[in-house]
Chains A and B, each alone.
Chain A
Amino acid sequence: MKAIRQETDEDLLIRLRRGDEAAFLALYRKRQAALYRFALQMSGSAGVAEDITQEVFLALLRGECGFNPERGSLSGYLFGIARKLALRQMERGRVDVPLESDAEDAALPELAVSDDTLADLTHREGIEALRRAVAALPRRYREVVVLCDLEEVDYADAAAALGCPIGTVRSRLHRARALLLEKLNKERPKPVGSFKPVRCAI
């Protein structure tokens, strides 16, 4: 039996540029949800996320953005456009999520150990606390967590979307997760003596 080959984004883009509406629709349906969620996480506003999603595909339709497959995948490229549009909105003050504070960079957490600080992350309250912690991350850390952890974008596509090297994606992700742990630790009331920050000695 012959296996049916799944059309790639790039195949769909070629057909789209020939005027194939079905290809445009297929590409939109394949990518819109992740782009919308990314825009929503970045902007904190459903209206802004809707505008951004629409504008990303309009840009693709108009062929104004000069997608080059040699520089990365279409998915990473679309996330990159969505990110730029979200940043513009943030600069114009149309978003609900607070802009990053550079002070948070200086206050990255030390390596710390807690016995069961995150034990409730599988419960509804724990997930809600995690959602708040992600929303409260500084922008540069929030975007990498949303892309890599929530949307499962690979590092290469995330790097293309963020316009930075893969190593930067890795290090930001590392810091972002440390910040999340710190925020979650702060949020959870701790019994006296159950938590003691320490440094690794080995």
Chain B
Amino acid sequence: MNCAEFWNEMPELAAGGGLQNEHEHEHLKQCPQCAGLIEQQRRLASGLRIMAHDWRAVAAPPRVEANLIEAFRNQMTPAGPRLARMRMLPVFSLAAVAAAVLAVAVWVAPRRPVAPPAAHHAPAAQVELASLADDGSDDDGFIPLPNAERVGPNDDVHVVRMELPRSAMLVVGLDVSPERVSERVEAEVMLGPDGLARAVRFADEPGTY
């Protein structure tokens, strides 16, 4: 066994496991450098175990559990979702109108390909978590439109800039204050290869909706 073969087994050795076989013992007898290094690795592993032990007391604060229990009850109890749906009814109606406006705007607006400028990101709660299960791409600020097909990595897309009613933000889950719903806001709409809108990003700074 040479040094390279010996160190192929390093993670297990350093994690505190014993030497696997007689060849490894033999190698350490013949190679003081590897013997010295394995001793360093063992001390490091020992230090990491102490550090891990110290870490064990660290946990999320109790308010996280309280928030999650509340979220669980809202989601799971029969009354919760119904009440939530009733409360959300006007918002959904407005969002449906906004979606229609957005779709029409994409067709009637003059299409001007633009270089993607800096734009805000969706709030963390709005991050499309389905993408988290895959090896996701970088967040470029575009928010996928509900029910639109996902843009593939090799799809030919176009970005057009246009003005939209601020209420269009509701479609992608952004909060809009009621008094500003009728205002207009500049946005970039990503069109898929079939010309249909796939995602949108708004040029507004966060917090000014």
Q: Does B84 contact A (CB under 8 A)?
A: no
Chain B 119-137, CB-CB to A under 8 Å as 1, else 0, gives 0010011010110110110
Contact of B72 among A21, A50, A112, A150 (CB under 8 A): A21
B72 adjacent to A64 (CB under 8 Å): no
Determine chain A's interface SS by DSSP, over half rule.
Answer: helix
Q: Does B65 contact A (CB under 8 A)?
A: yes
Number of A-B contacts (CB under 8 A): 165
Within 8 A of A (CB), among B118-158: 121, 124-125, 127, 129-130, 132-133, 135-136, 138-139
Q: Is A108 an interface residue (CB 8 A)?
A: no
Q: Given known contacts A50-B60, A84-B132, is B48 in contact with A145 (CB within 8 Å)?
A: yes
A150 pairs with B52, CB closer than 8 A: yes
Chain B, interface size category, equals 35 or more
Q: Is B40's CB under 8 angstroms from A61's CB?
A: no
Whether A177 contacts B135 in the complex (CB less than 8 A), given A145-B48, A149-B45, comes out as no
Interface flags for A10-48 (1: CB within 8 Å of B; 0: not) read: 000000000101001100110011011100100000000
Total interface residues in chain A, CB < 8 Å: 70
A51–B65 CA distance with the chains assembled, in angstroms = 12
Whether the Cβ atoms of B68 and A40 lie closer than 8 Å is: no
Residues of B within 8 A of A91 (CB): 138-139
On whether A40 and B44 interact (CB within 8 A), knowing A54-B68, A173-B11, the answer reads no
- Assess whether A113 is in contact with B33, with CB atoms less than 8 Å apart: yes
Q: At the interface, yes or no: B114 with Cβ under 8 Å from chain A?
A: no
Known: A49-B60, A91-B139. A28 touches B65 (CB 8 A): yes
Beyond A29-B65, A119-B43, list 20 extra A-B contacts (CB 8 Å).
Answer: A25-B69, A33-B56, A33-B60, A35-B60, A50-B60, A51-B124, A61-B72, A64-B130, A84-B132, A84-B136, A85-B127, A88-B139, A92-B121, A121-B43, A121-B44, A121-B50, A122-B50, A127-B51, A130-B44, A149-B45
- B residues contacting A by CB (< 8 A) are 2-3, 7, 10-11, 14-15, 27, 30-34, 36-37, 40-41, 43-48, 50-52, 54-56, 58-61, 64-65, 67-69, 71-73, 75-76, 121, 124-125, 127, 129-130, 132-133, 135-136, 138-139
